[in-house]
Amino acid sequence: MYTSKTYLVAGFPFTVKADKTLLDRMDNLNPFAADGTDGHLFDLEQAEAVAAPEGEPLFCTQDGPDFPEIAIWTVPEGHLFRMRPLPGRPAAVQLQVNEDFSKAAMQLSGTDDVFALNNALMLLYAFSSARKGALEMHSSVVMHHGKGYLFLGKSGTGKSTHSRLWLQNIPETELLNDDNPVLRLMPDGSARVFGTPWSGKTPCYKAQDVPVGAIVRIEQAPENAIRRLSPLEAYASVMASASAFRPFKELSDGWHRTLESLAVAVPCYILRCLPDDAAAILCHKTVHG
């Protein structure tokens, strides 16, 4: 039996119509439930079948053997997406999406439906909000004294570790999200960071948001040092950790406009550091200072 539920993430509502048993398993979505909200960002509906992709994809991720694979085809009606939990594994979900990413049909394979639905929602959210000042970030975020601090970096560089060091060493610090927060440029030009239903391996699903205090890129180094980035450096740093897809020009233009504004509005830093207490204390003293 299919049921319909509406969720609100970073101020943007979306609706999912899917098997009730599956939605009941999605505990990460529950804090964001907002039935009755109007003005949907997108509507996702489970379907028995969608159009099969033909020919070579327009794009296919190549993040490595330990990362999910996403392939994209462009068709007259919009776009087709196929997602696998790992390269070479059977597809977990196929999506048929209209031109502006406001409506999508989802065919599940039954191999990993929770993975499939979460990744379908993350993809649709990133694409449908691209022209609305929102960026899905690959980042760990802590809240401290009413502001959010985003830690960026390549996988394995210590984002989550640095958040944990703040929690251990900086009083009144709380984790907001450990993998996929939304960074949003608000209509008044300010920047806020929002918790989301997607937080990687750390179950941290908080429907909360705070103004951005700073964005810090983490790099491993033999000693601790931090410096503020120029707006151009900040632009490149934030862009490297944003979920964006450049071949869709209209969406890419929206992401770039948001990045340009954020690079000026938000203090951005690079922290070259060891995974130790001193690094967290140095970072806090500099960015919160």
Q: What is the pTM of this model?
A: 0.95
Fold of 135-287: Rossmann fold (3.40.50)
Sign of CA dihedral 189, 193, 195, 196: positive
Neighbours of 288 (CB within 10 A): 13
Please report, for the chain, the start and end positions of each structural domain, with discontinuous segments joined by +: 2-128, 135-287
Q: How far apart are the C-alpha atoms of 229 and 211, rounded to whole Å? A: 19
Tokens representing 240 are 């490297």
Per-position pLDDT tens, the chain of length 289: 899 999 999 999 999 999 999 999 999 999 999 977 777 899 999 999 998 888 889 889 888 888 889 999 988 889 999 999 998 889 999 999 999 999 999 999 998 999 999 999 999 999 999 999 999 999 999 999 999 999 999 888 899 999 999 999 999 999 999 999 999 999 999 999 999 999 999 999 999 999 999 999 999 999 999 999 999 999 999 999 998 776 778 888 889 999 999 999 999 999 999 999 999 999 999 999 7
